[in-house]
Structures are given as C-alpha cells and as structure tokens.
Amino acid sequence: MKQSQSLIPTLKEVPAGADIKSHQLLLRAGFIRQTASGVYSYLPLGKRVLRKIEEIVREEMDQAGANEMLMPALQPAEIWKETGRWDVYGPELMRLQDRHEREFALGPTHEEVITSLVKDEVKSYKKLPLTLYQIQTKYRDEQRPRFGLLRGREFVMKDAYSFHETYESLDESYQLMYDTYSKIFNRCGLDFRPVIADSGAMGGKDTHEFMALSDVGEDTIAYSDTSDYAANIEMAEVTPNYEKPTTSLKEIEKVETPNQKTMQEVADYLEHSLSEGLKALMFKVDEKLVLVVTRGDHEVNDIKLKNLYQASMVELATEHETKQLLGAGFGSLGPVGVSDKVEVVADHAVEYVMNASCGANEDGYHFINVNPGRDFTVAKYADLRFIQEGDPSPDGQGVVKFARGIEIGQVFKLGDFYADQLGALYLDDQGKSKTMIMGCYGIGVSRVLAAIVEQFHDENGITWPDVIAPFQVHLLTINAKKEEQSQLADKLYQMLQTSGIEVLYDDRKERAGVKFADSDLIGIPYRITVGKRASEGYVEFKHRSTGEQLEVHESNIMETINKMMKK
Ligand code: ATP
Ligand code: MG
C-alpha cells in the first residue's frame, strides 16, 4: 500500500485523556480514532492488525473442530427474560425498542441466542458434542469505559459455546479450548498466564481466565513463587494456618476512642498492631444484612462473601443502615452483643485472635480484650479475606506473590443453567429426553490488540511481533525527489509485493526525519530505506525492535527478509 494514498493520520503529541501506552500509541500511530466514549473506529492500519489477530483465532478454533458462524448483535428481550438475565445483567445491558415498542438488547454475550438456536436445531445425542463460535461485535454499557480498546462499550469478541451430553464430554472440550487459547496467545507473542477465576452466580463450575501480564492490568494475579499455581486474587483461597497466641485471656473493657475512625488510627491510639484489632463491616447480601468480621490487617473479599451466600449481589451497607441497626457509624462497628440483630460471619483468622480490640457499636468507643467465643458468637467462620503477598500458596508450595494482568480470555464450564432455562433438550441413545450441558469460551479480540501494544513498544513507538504487524516491510526513500531513489524504491515495491510480502511504501514527499519518526511510531518490523547508495543498488535494512541495521544489495533483499523473519 502506498502511504500517499492511505489514511494513516499520525500525531506528534500524546492526545489528552489517553493514560496508558496502548491507547496513546494506537491513537498517535493512526490505528484507531474515538467515535464516542468507549466506541472506536479502526482506521486502515488498525483494521489490518485486528484481522491478523482474528485470523490466528480462526485458524486455531477451526483446528480444534469448532464451527464458525455469525449471530446478530440485536437480540429480542424475550430470551433474556427467559434466563432471568434481563433483570440480573443491570445497566450494562444496552437496551432499545423498535418502532412497535418491542424490547431488544445489543448483545454483550450470546448464551441466550445460541442456546435457543441449538434448542431448535439439535434434537439428538448424535449431534453432540458440538462447538460453535463467532467473531463479532459486543456491546456493554461499561460504568467506566477507559484505556482505549482495553475497556470499550463496543468491542470485538470471539465467543464460543459447546454443547454436551455429559460432564466428562464438557471437561474434554474445556481442556481443548484451554489448550487452544494457549496456542492462540502464544502465536500472538503475548506473555500471559492462565489463572483460576470466579465462576459467579450463573450456575457455573470451573473457569480460568487468561491474563496478559502488564502493569496496567486491572486484575491482580496471585501466584506461587515456586509452583505453577496462579489464581485471580478474587478466588485465591487462603490456607488457614493460624496459631492461637499463648497469653491468657484478659477482662473485656470499654474504652473511649474519640475521633479514631480507621483501623490504623484505632490501633495507634490503643497501641497495638493492626492484626490485634477486629474490623467489622456491614454488607447487604441480596436483601439480607450481614456483619463481616476480619482481622484489622486483612481485607474482606466480597466475591468470597457472595459465593458463601450464593448471592447475586453484595454491597456495603450505608452508614445510615449501620446506625439504624447497630447504633453506630462505620468507625465503631463490632461483633459484641449484636448476634440477635444481625448475622455475624467471620474470616478464619478471627477465631485465632486473643485480647483484640473492636468497635463497641457506640460512636467514639471500642472494646479491648475481646475474645471470640467468650465475648461474641459467630454464625460461621469461612475464608472471607483477600490473600496477601507472603501468605502460603494455596497449593501448599511456596508463598504467594502478586502480578497485574489484563484479562484477554476466559473459559467457563456453564453446566446446564442456560439449557435448563431455555429448554435445550435432546434425546439420548435410549430415546430419553435430557438437558444439554454447556461450556462457553471468550476472547477479547480488540482487547488482545491493545494488550499486544502494552507488551510491544519502546520510547519511539510500537514494536509489533511479525505475525501481528499491519505490514511486514516499511519501504521509504530519504529523498523522493531524487530520481534514482524513487526508481529503486518503486522497483522494490513491485518486487516485494510479487513475492507476497506486505509492504507499506512511504512515497510521501516528506522530510526523511518525519518519515523515520512515523515509521518507528507505526512499528512495522522491517524497514528498507532507499538513500544515498541507491545508484549502486544498495539499501539500508533495519529491524524495528532490535535496532539491528545492515546494508543490503537489492539482489539480496528477499534472502535477508526471509532469514530475519525466521529468527
Ligand atoms: P471484565 O472483567 O474485564 O469486565 P468480563 O469477565 O466481564 O471482563 P467476559 O464476559 O469474560 O468479560 O468476556 C470475554 C472477554 O471479552 C474477556 O475476557 C475480555 O477479554 C473481553 N472483554 C470483556 N469486556 C470488555 C470490554 N469492555 N472491552 C473490551 N474487551 C472486553
Ligand atoms: Mg471474564
């Protein structure tokens, strides 16, 4: 493609509001433009890269025996009501009405559509297992669309769904998809890690997320420093290997703690460590109020709380609610004497504290020398806190460390929830009617694009991996007005194209400095510069990411490219 005839609007300055590298560079290098908040246009270069990623996904999915299809973005409300997700999905679901006031959603995902389709088309065990996929545009009215393509309101997803007779069959497809995802992300050149994840309230079982390692990632991965254990911090189980101190119990006492609100303030004021204080937070778990107690140095993990109650919603109670029920605001809540008013649950660590402090449910007061069992009762002890760096790894090997990750894909054992709700039944080999068992598997294709840029850039621009780059070769002249330079460049352009190499030819009448800067910014892996020695047939060859540079005679260009690409 000739640059003079294409739309590659590069920018010198970092655009306002673009906080992370992938967002900045994709805008600056002319790959994308924002059309509305969280909604982007892919310019010619962006579209080429997107297509490269899609092709890798497609090849590997096809290789795994999945069938590509395409479903509509526009989905009737009825099927969402049948599964109950019309209500559960909340404001993230983009809803609209047609001219007859019939309700629709713009699909954030396609379980409803595919399950009702398969319900109508697959009636016999002979058709199972079956895996279907699509690469399609999704809509989610995200609360905070940000970071460019990483969290859009309109984005490209590959979503796949598998249908089975048995859980064993689901396990096989799940493993196959897990392996396929690893191949896809390896081919994309990404540094990634599959992690154990939360399956949420939708009746699911096993699930893994694939995380591209990156400091801008919104997820925290807890991994073992010695084994290959890795989990989303939401899920990482804490091994309760606490010990009871050997001191003797002291008398409980109420003390004044004026204006001491945070755990740290109270600990400092009472002169003990954070771990000797008890933290009590009141949560609304679906409609029920629950007082959750942890040690002062621990944080409540709301996902674990939600899973404990198999709830669909968990949120902190308001200060108004805590005052009404327990008579105190956030800073003075505690578990003593409240079990007739609210259910008290506590993290395992709480069982092992001795002579601790806690809020007295009276503003400005705390109890000291509080002991579980003697001074307060707990309905249930459970793993309710976030794991911390240095905790023993849940698999018993080594200790936990943290890393940040961008969720680029997820594989999920759905079980029979959707098939059950939508009546996706089949006849087994005995002629008996049974409910299908399902799996679903997503890859954020456009998010992968941004994640690649997060991992592949330097101070001058993007450094695309060969297989993802929009073009393989960036061809340019130092001075396009010089006949011998433009003639040789024209000739090389023809030759490379005939050899099946994707070339972007910068034939613009710009200064060399401008062309080089744009070329570094765009990040095509191999650059051929036609300059001073054009008349002798020599050009300069440069590798974008390593900076490796050599003079090559035009007759050796193909050989050099082939050698470099194999490296
Ligand atoms: P997140 O937790 O990041 O909101 P999710 O778990 O809700 O994502 P899934 O329903 O698992 O997302 O969707 C499958 C994949 O689609 C995700 O793994 C992610 O790569 C991608 N994805 C999800 N939401 C977005 C978004 N708003 N913008 C771009 N990609 C997204
Ligand atoms: Mg997910």
Predicted confidence at residue 205, as pLDDT, reads 75
Confirm or reject: Cβ of 441 under 6 Å from ligand 1: no
User: What stretch of H or E contains 540?
Assistant: strand 538-543
Q: Which residue has the tokens 């062309």?
A: 515
Query: Which CATH architecture is the domain 253-382 placed in?
Result: Alpha-Beta Complex (3.90)
Pocket test of ligand 1: the residue of 150, 157, 199, 414 to mutate, having most ligand atoms within 8 Å of its CB, is: 157
Q: Which residue, judged by its Cα, is nearest atom 1 of ligand 1?
A: 407
Question: With contact defined as beta carbons under 8 Å apart, do 214 and 404 qualify?
Answer: yes
Of the candidate CATH numbers 3.40.50.300, 3.50.50.60, 3.40.50.970, 3.30.930.10, the domain formed by 17-219+406-453 belongs to: 3.30.930.10
125 φ/ψ angles, rounded to the nearest 5 degrees? -60, -20
CB 182 within 8 A of CB 135: no
Pocket test for ligand 1, best of 447, 448, 453 (most atoms within 8 A of CB): 447
Is the CB of 372 within 6 Å of ligand 1?
no
Residue 232 reports pLDDT greater than 80: yes
Atom index in ligand 1 nearest the CA of residue 412 equals: 11
Distance from residue 150's CA to the centre of ligand 2 (Å):
13
Q: 18 C-alpha to center of ligand 2: Å?
A: 24
Q: What is the tens place of the pLDDT at every residue in 38-65?
A: 999 999 999 999 999 999 999 999 999 9
Residue pair 92/141 in contact (Cβ under 8 Å)? The answer is yes
Q: Rounded to whole angstroms, how far apart are CA atoms 146 and 44?
A: 22
Q: What is the mean pLDDT of the chain?
A: 95
Check if 17-219+406-453 and 471-566 are the same fold.
no
Q: From the CB of 296, is ligand 1 less than 6 Å away?
A: no
Q: What is the pLDDT of residues 201-225, one digit of tens each?
A: 555 579 999 999 999 999 999 999 9
What is the domain class of 471-566 according to CATH?
alpha beta
Distance 268 CA to ligand 2 centre (A): 40
- pTM: predicted TM-score of the whole model, two decimal places: 0.92
Band (372; pLDDT cuts 50, 70, 90): very high
At residue 208, what is the residue type?
A: H
**What whole-number distance in Å separates Cα of residue 442 and Cα of residue 453?**
20
pLDDT in tens, 263-306: 999 999 999 999 999 999 999 999 999 999 999 999 999 999 99
pLDDT at 224: 96
- Of ligand 1's listed atoms, the one at least distance from the Cα of 408 is 20
CA distance 335 to 252: 13
Return the domain boundaries, the chain.
17-219+406-453, 253-382, 471-566
Query: Is pLDDT of 513 > 70?
Result: yes
Cis peptide before 129 (omega within 30 of 0): yes
Residue 458 confidence (pLDDT): 97
Distance CA(553)–CA(558), nearest Å, equals 10
140 lines ligand 1 (CB under 6 A): yes
* pLDDT surpasses 70 at 410: yes
Question: Residues 424-449: what's their mean pLDDT?
Answer: 98
Report which ligand 1 atom has the smallest distance to the Cα of 218: 3
Neighbours of ion ligand 2 (CB under 5 A): 410
Q: Which two tokens stand for residue 234?
A: 């939401």
Q: What DSSP element (H or E) covers 518?
A: helix 512-522
pLDDT for residue 42: 98
pLDDT in tens, 149-195: 999 999 999 999 999 999 999 999 999 999 999 999 999 999 999 99
pLDDT at 204: 57
410 lines ligand 1 (CB under 6 A): yes
In the predicted structure, residue 234 carries a pLDDT above the cut 70? yes
Stretch (H or E) spanning 254: strand 253-256
| pLDDT value at residue 567 | 65
Q: What is the mean predicted confidence (pLDDT) over 58-83? A: 98
H/E element, 179: helix 167-187
Of 71 and 563, the one with more pLDDT = 71
